[in-house]
């Protein structure tokens, strides 16, 4: 009896940070955010990518895109503004130039895709899923720096009908885990999250950047060539947390949280508000090892709090309604 009790106790003390999103298995809940780690190879000498949960590639489009005029990045007091404009070399280049490296990784690869028309999303999904290393597709419905056909909205994720339509179309053609990446720049994030769920997404990922701008008063010019851009980093964290909390309370599928996560404590805040995993973006530019430190910090927190798995953390915010 004593031996059994001891082994039970040991089991309870060894924390598991593994999780599943759809069919995709992650060894920990820390994911590299799209656009902040290229296609992996760019950061391979700076960080042990295989120690992380997963990597989301830079968003790719069907055809090569030049992106926006420079400057494309402007620093602000507590974050960065970017207006890259989905600069990428297109699907063909991705399949021939990027997949060979991504295939060597031992963690799930999540391909981020974007398009102006639904057929472009379809083609991108059909082609990228041919590679077995692609375990999930993150549908970027939320880029603030591009325009779209077929919707009067500036950002696809502002149109709940378009979100449901695109996701349900992709659902019919892929068995890969489908993640809808949503924008915070909406009237009601709950409505948009529910559309993604209805469409058949296995998870939503939020948030992408907030629209913003900065001005150089010496030249009287905008700091970004595109004039406006997307704000990321610590400035948006409280706003992102609220979006995650709202989405978590309105859908049954998992929520992947992002927006200003720089430390393990930030990540844990997101998980308490309902995120089953987190994406780290801007922090990579400050410290490429931040995601690894965050993963280790989450594990330590679980151990200190004697919580046996991340399930015991997700959505466990103690509000006056629950306690």
294/242 Cα distance (integer angstroms): 21
The nearer residue to ligand FMN, 33 or 47, going by C-beta atoms, is 33
Question: And the tokens for 108?
Answer: 């799930």
Q: Of 303, 296, 252, 315, whose CA–CA distance to 29 is shortest?
A: 296
One residue of 111, 261, 268, 298 binding ligand FMN per CB under 6 A: 261
Q: Give the residue nearest to ligand FMN (CB).
A: 35
- Smallest distance, Å, CB 58 to ligand FMN? 5
Question: And the tokens for 293?
Answer: 């430190």
Helix, strand, or coil here: 293? Answer: helix
Is 35 a binder of ligand FMN (CB under 6 A)?
A: yes
One residue of 62, 84, 102, 155 binding ligand FMN per CB under 6 A: 84
2/206 Cα distance (integer angstroms): 47
Is 281 a binder of ligand FMN (CB under 6 A)?
A: yes
One residue of 29, 229, 233, 274 binding ligand FMN per CB under 6 A: 233
- Contact of 254 with 277, CB cutoff 8 Å: yes
One residue of 40, 108, 260, 291 binding ligand FMN per CB under 6 A: 260
Q: Is 275 exposed, middle or buried (0-12, 13-18, 19+ CB in 10 A)?
A: buried
Is 143 designated active site? yes
Q: Of 139, 128, 190, whose CA–CA distance to 168 is shortest?
A: 139
Inter-CA distances, 272 with 173, 188, 319, Å: 34, 21, 11
- Smallest distance, Å, CB 46 to ligand FMN? 16
Active-site residue among 143, 243, 273, 276?
A: 143
Q: Is 12 exposed, middle or buried (0-12, 13-18, 19+ CB in 10 A)?
A: exposed
* Cα dihedral across residues 192, 194, 198, 200: positive or negative: positive
One residue of 280, 292, 294, 313 binding ligand FMN per CB under 6 A: 280
Is 61 a binder of ligand FMN (CB under 6 A)?
A: no
Q: Which stretch binds ligand FMN (CB under 6 A): 5-13, 159-167, 194-202, 228-236?
A: 228-236
Binders of ligand FMN in range 174-193 (CB under 6 A): 181
Is 282 a binder of ligand FMN (CB under 6 A)?
A: yes
Is 155 a binder of ligand FMN (CB under 6 A)?
A: no
Binding residues (CB under 6 A) for ligand FMN: these are: 33-36, 58-59, 80, 82, 84, 112, 140, 181, 208-209, 232-233, 236, 258-261, 280-283
């Amino acid at each position: 009896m004593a031996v059994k009790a001891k082994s039970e106790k040991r089991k309870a003390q060894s924390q598991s940070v593994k999780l599943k999103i759809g069919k995709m298995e992650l060894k920990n809940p820390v994911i590299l955010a799209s656009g902040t780690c290229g296609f992996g190879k760019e950061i391979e000498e700076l960080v042990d990518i295989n120690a992380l949960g997963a990597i989301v590639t830079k968003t790719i489009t069907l055809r090569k895109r030049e992106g926006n005029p420079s400057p494309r990045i402007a620093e602000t007091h507590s974050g960065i503004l970017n207006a890259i404009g989905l600069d990428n070399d297109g699907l063909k280049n991705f399949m021939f130039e990027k997949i060979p490296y991504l295939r060597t990784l031992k963690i799930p690869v999540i391909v981020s895709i974007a398009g102006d028309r639904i057929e472009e999303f379809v083609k991108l999904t059909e082609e990228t899923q041919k590679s077995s290393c692609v375990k999930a597709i993150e549908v970027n419905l939320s880029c603030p720096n591009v325009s779209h056909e077929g919707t009067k909205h500036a950002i696809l994720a502002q149109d709940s009908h378009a979100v449901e339509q695109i996701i349900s179309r992709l659902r019919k053609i892929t068995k890969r885990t489908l993640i809808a990446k949503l924008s915070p720049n909406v009237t009601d994030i709950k409505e948009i999250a529910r559309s993604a769920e209805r469409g058949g997404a296995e998870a939503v990922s939020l948030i992408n950047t907030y629209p913003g701008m900065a001005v150089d008063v010496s030249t009287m010019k905008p700091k970004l060539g595109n004039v406006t851009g997307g704000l990321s980093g610590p400035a948006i964290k409280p706003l992102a947390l609220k979006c995650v909390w709202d989405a978590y309370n309105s859908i049954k599928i998992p929520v992947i949280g992002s927006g200003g996560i720089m430390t393990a404590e930030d990540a844990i805040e997101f998980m308490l508000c309902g995120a089953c995993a987190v994406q780290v973006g801007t922090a990579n530019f400050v410290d490429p090892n931040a995601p690894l430190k965050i993963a280790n910090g989450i594990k330590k927190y679980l151990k200190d709090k004697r919580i046996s798995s991340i399930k015991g953390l997700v959505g466990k915010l103690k509000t006056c309604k629950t306690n």
